[in-house]
Homo-oligomer: A and B are copies of this chain.
C-alpha cells in the first residue's frame, strides 16, 4: 500500500473524521529551536502530542498542573523530573505529577509521545 493516497486508504473519507486523527493531515508547529509539535487524538480528559527534536534541542524545564507521561519513541534524551535525572532511550518512559518541574535534552535526533490529563487546551486554537 506504499504510495497509496489517503482517498485510496479510506474511500470517501479523505479528511480527518473523529475519533480518528490521521498524521498526514495534522499540522506541525515549531515550538522551540529544533522542536516541533503535532497534536494527536484528544478529548476533554486526555491529550496525546508528538514532539520531534533535532540533536541537542531542548525542552526547557517547566511545570503545569496537568499530569504527564512521556514515552521515548525514537532517540536518546536526558530527562529531568523534579530532582531526578536519567538518560532514556526508545521504549523508556516517565511520569510527571502535577506541578512538578520537568524537561528534556535531546542527545540525538528523537521523538517523544507526551500524554496529558486533563487535556492541554492551551495547545489548541
Contacts and interface: CB of A to CB of B under 8 A. Distances in A.
Contacts of A19: 81-82, 84, 94-97
A109 interface: no
B46 A67 contact: yes
A7 interface: no
A116 B40 CA distance: 14
Copies of this protein, total: 2
Interface string A1-29: 10000000110010001111111100000
Given A1-B76, A17-B84, A86-B17, A95 B23 contact: no
Please list the 9 inter-chain residue pairs (A to B) with the smallest Cβ-Cβ separation, ordered nearest first: A23-B91, A41-B93, A117-B117, A115-B115, A40-B93, A41-B95, A48-B69, A45-B67, A19-B95
